[in-house]
Chains A and B, each alone.
Chain A
Amino acid sequence: MVNSRQLLILILCLMLGLGSSVAMAREQVATLRIGLTPVFLDNKLSILRIWQRYLETRLQRRVEFVQRQTYREITDLLLAGDINSAWICGFPFVRYANQFTLLAVPLYRGQPLYQSYLIVPATDGSTRDIADLQDKVFAYSDPDSNSGYLVPRVGLQRMGYDPDTFFARTFFAWAHYDVVIAVAEGVAQGGAVDGYVWDTLRQLHPEITQRTRIVNKSRKFGFPPLVVNKTLPDEDVRLLRHVMLRMKDEPDGVLLLRELNLDGFVSATPELYEGIRENVIYMKQAELDVRQNQLTIQDTY
Chain B
Amino acid sequence: MLGRISLRYKIPINLSLAILLTAIVIGTVLIWRSYEEVRNDLFRSSVELGTVLSRTLVAPLKHDDVWQAYQILRSAGFRIYIVLDEQRRIFISNDPTQYPMLSELRTLGPEYSALQAKIENHASLTPFLHERAKDERLYVVIPVIDDGIQIANVIIGYPRTIYWPHLLNIAERVGLTSLIVMLFLIPIGWWVGNRTVDPLVQLSQVMSRVGSEQLEDINYKPLNRDDEIGQLGRSFDAMIGELKEKQNLEGQVIVSERLAAIGRLAAGIAHEINNPLGGMMNAINTYRRFGRSDRETESTMFLLERGLKQIHETVSALLVEARQESHDLTPEDIEDVRLLVQSDAQKKGLQLVWNNKLDRPLSLPSTPVRQVLMNLSLNAVQAAEQAGQVTLSVARIDGLLEIRVSNDGATVSNEEIGHLFEPFVHNRPGGTGLGLWITYQIVQQFGGDIFVHSEHGTTSFMVHLPLELAA
Tell me whether A and B are bound partners.
Answer: yes
Is A139 an interface residue when CB atoms closer than 8 A count as contact?
A: yes
Among the 9-residue stretches A101-109, A178-186, A215-223, the one with 4 or more Cβ atoms under 8 Å from chain B is A178-186
- Check A186/B96 contact, CB under 8 A, given A137-B102, A168-B102, A169-B101: yes
Judge whether B96 and A169 touch: CB under 8 Å: no
Q: Please, how many angstroms separate the alpha-carbon atoms of A47 and B92 in the complex?
A: 34
The reply to whether B102 and A169 form a contact with Cβ atoms under 8 Å apart is yes
Contact flags B60-84 to A (C-beta < 8 A → 1, else 0)? 0000111100100010000000000
User: Would B102 and A187 count as touching, CB distance under 8 A?
Assistant: no
- For residue B26, give the distance in angstroms from its CB to the closest CB of chain A: 48
The reply to whether the CB of B212 lies closer than 8 angstroms to some CB of chain A is no
- List of B residues within 8 angstroms of A171 by Cβ: 64-67
Nearest A residue to B74 via CB reads A185
Residue numbers in B under 8 Å from A100 (CB-CB): none
B214 within 8 A of A: no
Cβ contacts under 8 Å, B70 to chain A? 182, 187
Q: How far is the CA of A185 from the CA of B64 in the complex (A)?
A: 19
How many interface residues does chain B have, given as a range?
A: 10 to 19
Q: Which residue of B lies closest to A174 (CB)?
A: B67
Contact string against A for B residues 74-107, beta-carbon threshold 8 Å, 1 for contact and 0 otherwise:
1000000000000000001001110011100000
For B67, list chain A residues within 8 Å (CB).
139, 171-174, 178, 182, 187
Partner of A187, one of B64, B65, B101: B101
Contacting residues, chain A, for B96 (C-beta < 8 A): 185-188
Min Cβ gap B104→A in Å is 13
Could you say which residues of chain A place their CB within 8 Å of the CB of B97? 121, 123, 185-186
By a CB distance below 8 angstroms, the chain A residues around B100 are: 137, 186
Q: Which of B64, B92, B96 has the most CB of A within 10 A?
A: B96
Residues of B within 8 A of A178 (CB): 67
Question: Which of chain A's residues has its CB closest to B60's CB?
Answer: A171
Scoring A residues 58 to 70 as 1 if CB is less than 8 Å from chain B, else 0, what string do you get?
A: 0000000000000
Shortest CB distance A201–B (Å) = 17
Per DSSP, are chain B's interface residues mostly helix, strand or loop, or mixed?
loop
Give min CB distance, A212 to chain B, whole Å: 13
**A residues in contact with B102, CB < 8 Å:** 137, 168-169
Which residues from chain B contact A172 at a C-beta distance below 8 Å? 67
Which residues of chain A are near B74, meaning CB under 8 Å?
A: 185
By beta carbon, the residue of chain B nearest A173 is B67
Q: Which of A137, A139, A178 has the most CB of B within 10 A?
A: A137
Please report which residues of chain A, range 107-131, place their CB below 8 angstroms from some CB of chain B when the two chains form the complex: 121, 123
Cα distance A139–B66 when bound, in Å? 10
Chain B residues contacting A139 (CB-CB under 8 Å) are: 67
The interface bits of chain A over 137-148 (1 if a CB of B lies within 8 angstroms of the residue's CB, else 0) are 101000000000
In whole angstroms, what is the CA distance A168 to B70 when docked?
Answer: 17
Q: In whole angstroms, what is the CA distance A137 to B95 when docked?
A: 14
The CA-CA distance from A105 to B66 in the complex, in Å, is 33
Give the complex CA separation of A105 and B92 in angstroms: 39
Cα A187 to Cα B92 with chains together (Å):
8
Chain A residue numbers with a CB within 8 Å of B101 are 137, 168-169, 187
Residues from chain B with Cβ under 8 Å of A185 in the complex: 74, 96-97
Q: Name B95's closest neighbour in chain A (CB-CB).
A: A186
B67, B74, B96, B97, most chain A CB atoms within 10 A: B67
Least Cβ–Cβ distance between A168 and chain B, in angstroms = 6
List CB contacts (< 8 Å) of A195-231 with chain B: none
The chain A residue sitting closest to B64, CB to CB, is: A171
CA distance in complex: A121, B98 (Å): 14
Contacts of B95 in A (CB 8 A): 186
Q: What chain B residues lie within 8 Å of A182 (beta carbons)?
A: 67, 70
- Rounded to whole angstroms, the CA-CA distance of A178 and B100 in the bound complex is 18
Contacts of A169 in B (CB 8 A): 66, 101-102
Distance in angstroms from B322 CB to nearest chain A CB is 132
- In the bound assembly, the distance between CA atoms of A113 and B100 in angstroms comes to 36
User: CA of A173 to CA of B60 in the docked complex: distance in angstroms?
Assistant: 13
Chain B residues, Cβ within 8 Å of A121: 97
Q: How far is the CA of A139 from the CA of B65 in the complex (A)?
A: 11
- How far in angstroms is the closest Cβ of chain A from B71? 8
Shortest distance from the beta carbon of B88 to any chain A beta carbon, whole Å? 16
Interface string of A149-179 (1 = CB under 8 A from B): 0000000000000000000110111100010
Taken residue by residue from 6 to 19, chain A's Cβ proximity to chain B (1 for < 8 Å, 0 otherwise) reads as 00000000000000
What distance in Å separates the Cβ of A167 from its nearest Cβ neighbour in chain B? 10
Assembled-state Cα–Cα distance A137/B101 (Å): 8
Q: Which residues of A contact B64 (CB under 8 A)?
A: 171
* Chain B residues closer than 8 Å to A187, beta-carbon distance: 66-67, 70, 92, 96, 101
Q: Give A45 Cβ to nearest chain B Cβ, in Å.
A: 19
Please measure, in the bound complex, the distance between the C-alpha atom of A168 and the C-alpha atom of B92, giving whole angstroms.
Answer: 13
Q: A185-B74, A187-B67 are in contact. List 10 more A-B contacts (CB 8 A).
A: A121-B97, A137-B66, A137-B101, A169-B101, A174-B67, A182-B67, A185-B96, A186-B95, A186-B97, A186-B100
**What are the 5 A-B residue pairs with the smallest beta carbon separation, nearest first?**
A186-B97, A171-B66, A186-B96, A187-B96, A173-B67
17 pairs across A/B with beta carbons < 8 Å? Answer: A121-B97, A123-B97, A137-B101, A137-B102, A171-B64, A171-B66, A171-B67, A173-B67, A182-B67, A182-B70, A185-B74, A185-B96, A186-B95, A186-B100, A187-B66, A187-B70, A188-B96
